[in-house]
C-alpha cells in the first residue's frame, strides 16, 4: 500500500506538471478503506453486483460510457447516512440500450458512485467520489492512483471539476434527484 501511495504522490506530481511530488487529495489508505465499506453497503442493498436493481439504460457520454444506468437511494455507511448516486457505465462492441437491458454484465465497464458524507468535504458539498471496476475493485488513474475520495480535487479535469458545472449548486446533474 505504501508503494501505491508513493506512486499516487508521484503520479499527481506528474499529472499537475510539477517537479516536486504533491500528496494526492484522493486515493489514500483512508479513502480506499472507505470505498471498500461503501461497496459492501451497496452490495447488501442490491445496488451493485449480481442481482442488482437496474434502471432503464440511456445514452451516455464521455467519460462515463456509451450507455448508462443511474439509480439513487439513501444508505448508511460506517454510521453516516446520506444520499448515494450509482452510475453504471457500459461500453464495448455492439453496446445498445437493448443489449445492456438484456445482458448488462456483458457490457459493464465501471461503476461510478457519489456518496454524501456529512462534514467530509464542505468545499464540494461533502461528496465522496469513487470509480469501481465491475467486480468492486477500485479503478485507478493512469498514474496508478485509486479513484476514491476527493477525486481530482483542485485539478482542471476529473469528477469534482466536471460536477462543479452542474446546475443547482449541489454538484449533481439532474439536481432535483433528492428534493
CB atoms under 10 Å from CB of 120, counted, come to: 17
Residue 55 lies inside a defined structural domain of this protein: yes
Residue 57 CA: distances (Å) to CA of 67, 87, 129:
6, 10, 22
- Residue 10's pLDDT is what? 37
Looking at the structure of the chain, the number of domains it has is: 1
Q: For 124-166, what is each residue's pLDDT tens digit?
A: 999 999 999 999 999 999 989 999 999 888 788 888 888 888 8
Residue 159 lies inside a defined structural domain of this protein: yes
Q: Tell whether pTM > 0.75.
A: yes
What is d(CA 113, CA 111) in angstroms, rounded to the nearest whole number?
Answer: 7
Query: Do you find a cis peptide bond into 8, omega within 30 degrees of 0?
Result: no
Q: Could you tell me the pLDDT band of residue 19, with boundaries at 50, 70 and 90?
A: very low
**pLDDT of 73 above 90:** yes
What cell does 79 get?
454510521
Residue 46 lies inside a defined structural domain of this protein: yes
What is d(CA 158, CA 162) in angstroms, rounded to the nearest whole number?
Answer: 6
Of the CA atoms within 13 Å of residue 47, those in its CB half-sphere come to: 23
Residue 19 lies inside a defined structural domain of this protein: no
Residue 60 lies inside a defined structural domain of this protein: yes
Residue with cell 446520506: 82
Residue 177 lies inside a defined structural domain of this protein: no
Residue 1 lies inside a defined structural domain of this protein: no
Q: Bridge partners of 10?
A: none
Range list of β-strands (E), 35-166: 58-59, 67-77, 80-90, 108-116, 127-132, 148-149
Residue 20 lies inside a defined structural domain of this protein: no
Mean pLDDT score, 39-49: 96
**pLDDT of 171 above 80:** yes
Please give the residue that has the higher pLDDT: either 140 or 167.
140
Range of the domain at 113: 26-169
Amino acid at each position: 500500500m505504501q508503494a501505491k501511495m508513493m506512486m499516487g504522490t508521484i503520479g499527481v506530481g506528474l499529472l499537475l506538471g510539477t517537479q516536486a511530488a504533491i500528496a494526492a487529495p484522493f486515493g489514500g489508505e483512508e479513502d480506499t478503506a472507505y470505498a471498500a465499506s461503501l461497496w459492501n453497503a451497496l452490495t447488501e442493498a442490491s445496488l451493485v453486483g449480481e442481482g442488482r436493481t437496474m434502471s432503464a439504460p440511456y445514452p451516455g457520454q464521455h467519460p462515463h460510457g456509451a450507455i448508462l444506468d443511474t439509480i439513487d437511494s439513501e444508505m448508511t455507511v460506517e454510521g453516516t447516512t446520506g444520499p448515494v448516486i450509482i452510475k453504471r457505465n457500459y461500453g464495448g462492441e455492439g453496446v445498445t440500450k437493448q443489449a445492456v437491458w438484456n445482458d448488462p454484465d456483458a457490457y459493464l465497464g465501471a461503476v461510478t458512485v457519489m456518496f454524501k458524507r456529512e462534514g467530509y468535504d464542505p468545499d464540494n458539498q461533502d461528496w465522496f467520489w469513487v470509480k469501481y471496476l465491475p467486480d468492486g475493485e477500485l479503478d485507478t488513474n493512469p498514474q496508478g492512483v485509486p479513484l476514491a475520495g476527493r477525486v481530482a480535487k483542485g485539478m482542471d479535469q476529473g469528477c469534482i471539476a466536471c460536477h462543479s458545472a452542474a446546475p443547482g449548486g449541489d454538484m449533481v446533474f439532474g439536481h432535483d434527484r433528492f428534493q
